[in-house]
Structure formats: C-alpha cells, structure tokens
C-alpha cells in the first residue's frame, strides 16, 4: 500500500474529472474526516485515514481491500473505474442520464443504452462525456460515456446507441469475483 | 500682343503653383533627427481637412515636412567629392529597437556548470608563452605551439621502462586520446544542451583500470547478452554481483497527510487550469461538419428535381453503420474487462 505517484494521480484525476469535474476537490477536502487515495496491487482505494493507518499492520501481500475501490490500473497504465466508485460519482456527477423503466434491465445486464430507453438527459451534454446513469426514481444504476451529444440525441433514430455502458450495479452479481 | 502677355502671365502663375515655397510655417516646430534623416511632426491633424480630402491633405503634409527636413539638411556642413555635394550627417539621436531578437545565452558546458557551483574562476593566461628551445614567444596551444613534447627528437627514459615500448608513439597516442576525449565531451555537451539528459558512456578505456572500473566492466560484460545475462556462466567461486539498477521510490504510506493532500489539490488545480483541447480532433470535427454541409447543399439541389426518397434512404443508412462500429468496440472492451 502506498500513495499514488504524481503521474498516477494525474491519470486518475483526469479519468475521474470526466464524471465529476472539479468536484474531486470535495473528495479530497472533506469536513467529516481525512480521506486519502491509496494504491494497492494496481487498485486505487479511497479510504479514511485512521482505517488506512490500521491497515498498515497487514502484510501488503495479504491485504485484499480497504475502504472503497475506485478502479484499477491496466497494464498499459490506464484506469478502469469500477462500479464500486459509483457511491462517490453519483452525488457529484455533472452530467446525468435517466432511463425509462423498461430499459433499466437491459442496462443492468451490461448493454448500451439505446435512444428508445432514454428517459431524460442533462442539457448540453457533449459527445463522449462521462455520464452517470439513473433510473426514473433517481437511483444510480451505473455510469458510461455519452455516445451522442444532447442535440444529436434528439434527432437520431430509436435504435441508435446514446450511452456506452461502462459499469452497472448488475456487476455486483455478474462479476462478483472481480470486484473488491 | 495682349494674348502673349496673358499667356506669359498664366504660365508664370502655373509655375508658381507647381513649385511651392520652401518656407513652411508650422505652429509647433517639427522635431528633426538628421542623423537618421527622420522628422517627427507633433502638430495635431486638421480633422476637417483630413476628412474632406484625405489623400491630398496627407501628401501636402508630407511635402511640407520633407521640405523642412531638406531645409535642415542644407544647413549642415557640406563637402564636395568628385563634383558631388555631400552633407555630413551628425550621429543619430533617436534610438531604434534592434532588428533581431537578443541572442540566446550559450548553453553551459558541464565544466562551466560545475565551476559555477564551486566558484572556480578562469585565470586569464597569455596566448603566447616563451619557448625555451627556439628562444622566442610561441602560441600556448595549436599549430607550432611552444614546448611541444611530441616534437622532441630525444626522450629520456627511466631505467625500469619497457624496452619494447616506443616512447614517441606513446606520447602521440596519449595526445590523440586526450583530443578524442575532449571531442567526446564536446559532443556530449551539445547533446545535453539539446536533449537534456544524455546516457552515460559506460566504460572508457583506461591504461590501468582500478578495482571499481574492473568490477563495473565485468558486470556490464555479463549483462550484455541477448538474455541480459541470465545464462551467462559463472566462475566456480564467483560472488553474486549486486544489481545496480535504478530503483523506484514511493512516498511513505503514512507520511505527511497534509502535504499529500496539498500536492493532489495542486495537481487538480493544474488540470483544471488547462482544459485539454484536442486541436486535431476539433479541426477534424470542423472539417467533417463542412463536408456534411457541402453534401447537404448538393442534395438540396437534387431535391428540387424531386429525388426525395433517395435522400432519405441515404441519410437513414449512414448512422447505423457508424453505430455498428462503436458497438463492436464496446464489446471488445467488455471482453477485456472479463479477463
């Protein structure tokens, strides 16, 4: 377990800012306690400081997880955010997409979002912007990338993909072994 | 007769209007820098005249000021050279900015940098030194230098010297080595100034390598195989050499938490300051938009002829094709995640 290096921090923040913009600051500077990002076995964990200090007594070889796993570095040093990060992405999300009830299941099975299933979308969403996906009751379901901008969404045909799937809460069941 | 007088009078009047007077009146004297042949007119512009007939007003103004400049030139001392009258211009008083940018400071060599840190200053040496042999002053270095030991016709050797060795060749060789070393250092300095970091040269040949150099040579030689020394055979009693690679160093896990936070906030600040604008992408987007517009207007022309159905089918056919590509890409990504 160690803090992120400068390069890693940069890559990580760039990725995170696609979803929550400059709200990353609120994750670093929290009134309710000191939180930090820690690197352990290619994964990034967001953890309270006192828990992290206690975890130092565990052999890093055997330390499986602490706090919340935000994502994992790929071998090519890119970041893949995990669904576990949703708890922190959803409250600060800049751009959101709401799904119609009948499209919910499709998304939770890991499919992209079609225009037909799109209930609502934040105004002025640019293309390829990271978005958090909600159902109509404002329950966060996952996150993805806007395949089309808001304006393009209006004019495209119903079967066109509007949001690329990246992670959804169905993964808690589907890929349980991967999540930490 | 009267005709003639009238003609002459008219001609005279024309002449007068053609050649204006050399006496020019100005409210404020113009400033003349005759060294640069430069005149500066501080008088305000007559706005009414300027607006009514701009070109004529400007050319008149220019003529008047030029006249004043020439008047001033004629007051300067003149001399005649080969039937040509020359005025002697004083030194220019107006300072102009330089034409070219200031020269960049020369990049420091490694020695200069070291000397600066250590506070070593150059001692000025004379270029010429006394040559005892020739009884004259000769250059300190270069062609025909003073006290040139490679030009000796006789070299005294010590009693324990190697009899087979040619002392003359040894001297010339040593000199060649020194020049080669200097050349290498010069090139390294150039490379350093251009690319920043320069890889080390590894080992340079030396006459009598010491223990450290030998050790380094051994380690390097063992590692210099295709398998990076994995299959290099070892001597029976050889000790394992310690790897001397660069080690990654990380911050301690529980260090100064405030410092860590400040560092991250700073990174965040720098990221938010420079919004990543992908110029290539933007240009491409713009171009594709232009293209779309162009095709659209073309098709608009076709529409006039009543080819509505054809257009619709084409417009409907294109986007799904694009989406298909994205879909495939998405699937590939998911497969990777599963691994």
What CATH number was assigned to the domain covering residues A94-174?
2.30.130.10
- Three-state SS at A156: coil
Q: What is the pLDDT of residues B112-122, one digit of tens each?
A: 999 999 999 98
| Domain final residue, candidates B147, B179, B199 | B147
Of B271, B276, B319, which is closest to A157 when you measure between CB atoms?
Answer: B319
pLDDT at B244 over 80: no
CA dihedral B12, B16, B19, B20 (to 10 degrees): 170
DSSP letter for each residue of B89-140: -----SPPPPSSPPPPPPPPPHHHHHHHHHT--PPP--SEEEETTTTEEEES
Cα A78 from Cα A58, distance rounded (Å): 27
CB atoms inside a 10 Å sphere around CB A35: 20
Of B255, B326, B334, which is closest to A110 when you measure between CB atoms?
Answer: B334
First to last CA, chain B: 119
- Three-state SS at A140: strand
First to last CA, chain A: 15
In a shared domain, residues B170 and B140: no
Distance of alpha carbon B203 from its chain centroid, rounded?
Answer: 33
Instruction: Locate the domains of chain A by residue range.
Output: 6-89, 94-174
Residue appearing with tokens 């080669």: B180
Give the distance from residue A122's alpha carbon to the nearest chain B alpha carbon, in angstroms. Answer: 21
Of B253, B330, B338, which is closest to A56 when you measure between CB atoms?
Answer: B253
Q: Which domain holds residue B57?
A: 2-87
Q: Is residue B68 part of a domain?
A: yes
- What is the ipTM score, two decimals? 0.87
Beta-strand pair A140-146/A130-135: antiparallel
Q: Is residue B323 part of a domain?
A: no
Distance of alpha carbon A75 from its chain centroid, rounded?
Answer: 19
Beta bridge partners of B38: B33
Which of B330, B331, B338 is the best residue to mutate to test the A interface, defined by the most A CB atoms within 10 Å of its own CB? B330
Pick the closest to residue A114 from A157, A167, A72 (CA basis).
Answer: A157
- A6-89 fold: Nuclear Transport Factor 2; Chain: A, (3.10.450)
> Half-sphere exposure of B85 toward its Cβ, with a 13 Å CA cutoff?
6
Question: Cβ contacts of residue B121 below 8 Å, gap of 6+?
Answer: B115
Across all residues in chain B, what is the average pLDDT?
Answer: 81
For chain A, the 3-state helix, strand and coil shares in percent, each to the nearest 5, are 35, 30, 35
B334 secondary structure, DSSP code = H
Of A17, A53, A112, which is closest to B254 when you measure between CB atoms?
Answer: A53
In a shared domain, residues B168 and B112: no
Give the distance from residue A137's alpha carbon to the nearest chain B alpha carbon, in angstroms. Answer: 27
Q: Is residue B233 part of a domain?
A: no
Structure tokens at A6: 């400068």
Give the count of domains, chain B: 3
Question: Which chain B residues have a beta carbon less than 8 Å from that of A147?
Answer: 323, 326
pLDDT at B333 over 50: no
pLDDT at B319 over 50: no
Cα B42 from Cα B31, distance rounded (Å): 8
Residue of A nearest to B331 (CA): A111
Number of A/B CB contacts below 8 angstroms equals 76
Contact A6 B267 (CB under 8 A): yes
Residue of B nearest to A15 (CA): B271
pLDDT at B216 over 50: yes
Cα B100 from Cα B315, distance rounded (Å): 57
pLDDT at B300 over 80: no
Cα B310 from Cα A151, distance rounded (Å): 25
Which of B249, B266, B316, B323 is the best residue to mutate to test the A interface, defined by the most A CB atoms within 10 Å of its own CB? B323
The stretch B115-134 carries a mean pLDDT of 92
The phi and psi torsions of A28 (rounded to 5 degrees) equal -80, -40
Q: What is the pLDDT of residues B156-199, one digit of tens each?
A: 988 888 888 899 999 999 999 999 999 999 999 999 998 888 87
Cα A140 from Cα A93, distance rounded (Å): 10
- Three-state SS at A142: strand
What is the predicted pLDDT for the residue at B296?
64
Cα B44 from Cα B50, distance rounded (Å): 11
Block mean pLDDT (10 aa), chain A, length 180: 90 92 88 91 92 91 92 92 92 93 92 92 90 93 92 88 94 89
Q: Is residue B42 part of a domain?
A: yes
What is the predicted pLDDT for the residue at B310?
42
> Half-sphere exposure of A98 toward its Cβ, with a 13 Å CA cutoff?
11
Q: Which carries the bigger pLDDT value, residue B284 or residue A71? A: A71
Q: Is residue B124 part of a domain?
A: yes
In a shared domain, residues B72 and B140: no
The phi and psi torsions of A6 (rounded to 5 degrees) equal -60, -45
Pick the closest to residue B292 from B315, B312, B260, B269 (CA basis).
Answer: B315
- Burial class from Cβ neighbours inside 10 Å (0-12, 13-18, 19+) for residue A180 reads middle
Contact A28 B268 (CB under 8 A): yes
Give the distance from residue A20's alpha carbon to the nearest chain B alpha carbon, in angstroms. Answer: 12
């Amino acid at each position: 377990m160690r803090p992120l290096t400068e390069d890693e921090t940069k890559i990580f923040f760039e990725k995170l800012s696609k979803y929550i913009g400059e709200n990353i600051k609120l994750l670093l500077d929290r009134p309710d306690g000191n939180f930090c990002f820690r690197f352990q076995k290619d994964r990034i964990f967001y953890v309270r400081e006192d828990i992290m200090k206690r975890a130092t007594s565990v052999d890093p070889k055997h330390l499986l997880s602490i706090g919340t796993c935000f994502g994992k570095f790929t071998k090519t040093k890119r970041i893949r955010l995990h669904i576990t990060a949703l708890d922190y992405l959803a409250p600060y999300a800049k751009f959101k997409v709401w799904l119609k009830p009948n499209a919910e299941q499709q998304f939770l099975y890991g499919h992209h979002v079609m225009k037909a299933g799109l209930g609502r979308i934040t105004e002025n969403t640019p293309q390829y912007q990271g978005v958090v996906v909600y159902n109509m009751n404002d329950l966060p379901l996952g996150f993805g990338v806007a395949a089309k901008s808001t304006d393009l969404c209006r004019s495209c045909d119903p079967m066109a993909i509007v949001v690329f799937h990246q992670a959804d809460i169905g993964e808690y069941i589907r890929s349980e072994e991967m999540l930490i | 007769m009267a005709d003639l007088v009238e003609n002459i009078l008219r001609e005279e009047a024309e002449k007068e209007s053609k050649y204006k007077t050399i006496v020019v009146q100005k409210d404020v004297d113009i400033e003349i820098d005759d060294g640069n042949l430069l005149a500066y007119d501080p008088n305000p512009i007559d706005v009414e005249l300027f607006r009514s007939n701009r070109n004529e007003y400007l050319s008149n103004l220019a003529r008047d000021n030029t006249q004043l400049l020439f008047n001033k030139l004629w007051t300067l001392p003149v001399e005649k050279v080969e039937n040509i009258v020359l005025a002697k211009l004083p030194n220019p008083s107006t300072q102009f900015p330089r034409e070219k940018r200031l020269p960049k400071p020369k990049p420091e060599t490694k020695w200069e940098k070291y000397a600066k840190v250590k506070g070593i200053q150059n001692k000025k040496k004379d270029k010429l030194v006394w040559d005892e042999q020739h009884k004259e002053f000769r250059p300190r270095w270069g062609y025909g230098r003073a006290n040139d030991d490679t030009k000796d016709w006789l070299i005294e050797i010590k009693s324990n010297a190697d009899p087979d060795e040619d002392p003359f060749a040894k001297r010339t060789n040593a000199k060649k080595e020194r020049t080669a070393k200097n050349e290498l250092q010069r090139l390294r300095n150039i490379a350093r100034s251009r690319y920043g970091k320069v890889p080390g040269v590894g080992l340079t040949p030396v006459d009598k390598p010491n223990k450290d150099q030998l050790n380094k040579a051994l380690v390097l030689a063992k590692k210099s195989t295709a398998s990076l020394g994995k299959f290099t055979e070892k001597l029976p009693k050889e000790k394992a050499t310690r790897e001397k690679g660069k080690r990654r160093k990380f911050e301690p896990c529980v260090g100064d938490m405030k410092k860590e936070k400040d560092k991250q906030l700073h990174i965040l600040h720098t990221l938010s300051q420079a919004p990543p604008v992908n110029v290539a992408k933007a240009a491409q987007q713009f171009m594709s938009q232009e293209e779309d517009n162009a095709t659209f207007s073309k098709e608009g022309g076709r529409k006039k002829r009543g080819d509505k159905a054809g257009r619709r089918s084409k417009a409907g056919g294109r986007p799904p094709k694009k989406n298909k590509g994205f879909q495939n890409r998405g699937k590939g990504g998911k497969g990777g995640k599963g691994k």
